[in-house]
Amino acid sequence: LDRRLAETFPDLRIEVVNVSMAAISSYTLLDFTDEILAQKPDLLIIYAGHNEFYGAMGVGSMESLGRNPAVARVFLRLGRYRLFLLMREFAGGIRKTTTRAVHGATEDDPTATLMARIVAEQTIPLDSPLYHKGKEQFRRNLTAILEKSQRAGVPVLVSELVSNVRDQKPFVSEKTGSHPPAGAVYAQAQMLEQAGQIEAARSAFYRAKDLDALRFRATEEFNAILHEVAQAKQIPVIRMKYYFEQASRNGLIGDLLMSDHLHPNVTGYFLMAEAFYRTMRQYGAIIDTWPQDEPRPLAEMMKGWGVTALDTVYAELGIRYLKGGWPFQPMAGPNRSLDDYVPGNPVESMALEAVTRPDLSIEAAHLELAELYQKQGDPARALEEYKALCHMIPFETLFHERAAQILISEKRFEEAIPYLESSLRVRETYFAQKWIGQLLLAQADFYRALPHLERAVRIQGPDEQLLYNLARAYLAVSRIKSAESIVSRLAALNPESRYLPALQAYHAESKVNIERIDVLLKEAHGYLGNGNLRKAEYLLLEAVRIQDNRTAHEWLSRIYIDKKDAGKAAAHYEKSLYYTPEDPERLYQMAVLYSRIGRPFKARELLFRLEEVHPRFEDPFQLKRLL
Residue 100 clears pLDDT 60, i.e. is over it: no
Residue 580 clears pLDDT 90, i.e. is over it: no
pLDDT confidence band for 105 (50 / 70 / 90): very low
Has domain 309-505 been given CATH number 1.25.40.10? yes
Residue 147 clears pLDDT 60, i.e. is over it: yes
Quick one: fold of 2-163+213-241+266-296?
Answer: Rossmann fold (3.40.50)
Helices (H) and strands (E) in the chain, counts: 29, 3
| Mean pLDDT of the region 520-539 | 95
CA dihedral 363, 369, 375, 378 (to 10 degrees): -110
Strand (E) or helix (H) holding 244: helix 240-246
The pLDDT, as a whole number, for residue 371 is 97
Half-sphere exposure of residue 601: CA atoms within 13 angstroms, side-chain side:
13
Phi-psi region of 326 (alpha: psi -120 to 50; beta: other; left: phi over 0): beta
Q: Decide: helix, strand or coil at residue 238.
A: strand
| Mean pLDDT of the region 233-247 | 98
Residue 567 clears pLDDT 70, i.e. is over it: yes
pLDDT tens digit string along 179-233?
999 999 999 999 999 999 999 999 999 999 999 999 999 999 999 999 999 999 9
Q: Helix 413-426 to helix 430-442 angle, to the nearest 10 degrees?
A: 150
Strand (E) or helix (H) holding 353: helix 346-356
Residue 420 clears pLDDT 70, i.e. is over it: yes
Do the Cβ atoms of 106 and 100 come closer than 8 Å?
A: yes
Q: Which amino acid is at 538?
A: Y
CB burial readout 445-483, b (16+ within 10 A) else e: ebbbbbbbbbbbbeeeeebeebbbbbbbbbbbbbbeebb
The pLDDT, as a whole number, for residue 90 is 47
pLDDT confidence band for 581 (50 / 70 / 90): confident
Adjacent-strand bridge partners of 45: 157
Domain range summary for the chain, segments of one domain joined by +: 2-163+213-241+266-296, 309-505
The pLDDT, as a whole number, for residue 399 is 96
Pick 51 or 91 by higher pLDDT.
51
Residues 364, 367, 372: CA angle, nearest 5 degrees: 125
The Cα 185–Cα 209 span in angstroms is 9
Domains 2-163+213-241+266-296 and 309-505 share a fold: no
Edge-to-edge order in the sheet of strand 44-46: 44-46, 156-159, 237-238
Residues 425, 426, 428: CA angle, nearest 5 degrees: 80
The Cα 85–Cα 93 span in angstroms is 12
Pick 99 or 244 by higher pLDDT.
244
pLDDT confidence band for 72 (50 / 70 / 90): low
